[in-house]
Homo-oligomer: A and B are copies of this chain.
């Protein structure tokens, strides 16, 4: 099975993909949008990060979910263990700057500030290790997984440098087809531009006894300070009370899109 994944060989998304689909063939993508475009063409499925327990949501994933005709099929949660990685000859005091994905830099912000290390955002964690190797930079390091360090034969200068040990990332598996049934559903909607609209819209869930496990607002491009709301809740989109809630939400909201019902991850 070919799976479009975000990042280079050794990226966290690739690891999550191997964990869930042993024997898969990765199709590496530099952009989140490239993953979404590859599904159904160069790849059977796509895997993208959606949220980290320290740094929050991956906005590019949200902005792609709304536009495309793909379904969320599955959720994968993986523990993230960040290392500081360098070329083999580099010693810790020689490191002047650290490259990594902005999410990873954010997750290790306290370590970097404590050691006075300047951070330089890069498009991917594993990609930053690859770049250090290719350029041979002696005075820089990257933040990525121990697996990426091994894969590129690079040196681990420090382990477990996240601000908090409880560092998890949720990934979504997206496909052209929907999962049969799920225990969790994701929906995006836009509230009408009237007073109390968001509270009113959320009432569609509350009045049907559905508890939201997540809510996230994202701007509507071209309409400053208007938002789409992404919500997650327990249950399948075919469950009677979910059907009732969505039908009420459709009356109260400007638009509603069900992104998928899928298997919840265990963490």
Contact = CB atoms under 8 A, between A and B. Distances in A.
Q: Could you tell me the dominant secondary structure of chain A's interface residues?
A: mixed
A55 B219 contact: yes
A177 interface: no
Contact of A214 (B33, B123, B196, B217): B217
Contacts of A163: 221
Interface string A231-257: 000000000000000000000000000
Nearest to A100: B121
Interface in A208-227: 211-219, 221-225, 227
Contact of A121 (B56, B113, B122): B122
Interface string A85-110: 00000000000000000100010010
Contacts of A168: 224
A1 interface: no
A31 interface: yes
A195 interface: yes
A174 B251 CA distance: 41
A202 B225 CA distance: 20
Q: Which residue, A203, A214, A219, has most C-beta atoms of chain B within 10 A?
A: A219
A20 interface: no
Interface in A181-211: 195-196, 198-199, 202-203, 205-206, 211
Contacts of A199: 199, 202-203, 205-206, 212
Contacts of A56: 59, 217-219
B113 A221 contact: no
Interface of A: 30-31, 33, 51-56, 59-60, 102, 106, 109, 113, 118-123, 163-164, 166, 168, 195-196, 198-199, 202-203, 205-206, 211-219, 221-225, 227, 267
Given A51-B219, A53-B223, A216-B216, 9 more contacts: A33-B113, A52-B219, A54-B219, A54-B221, A60-B106, A120-B122, A121-B121, A164-B221, A215-B217
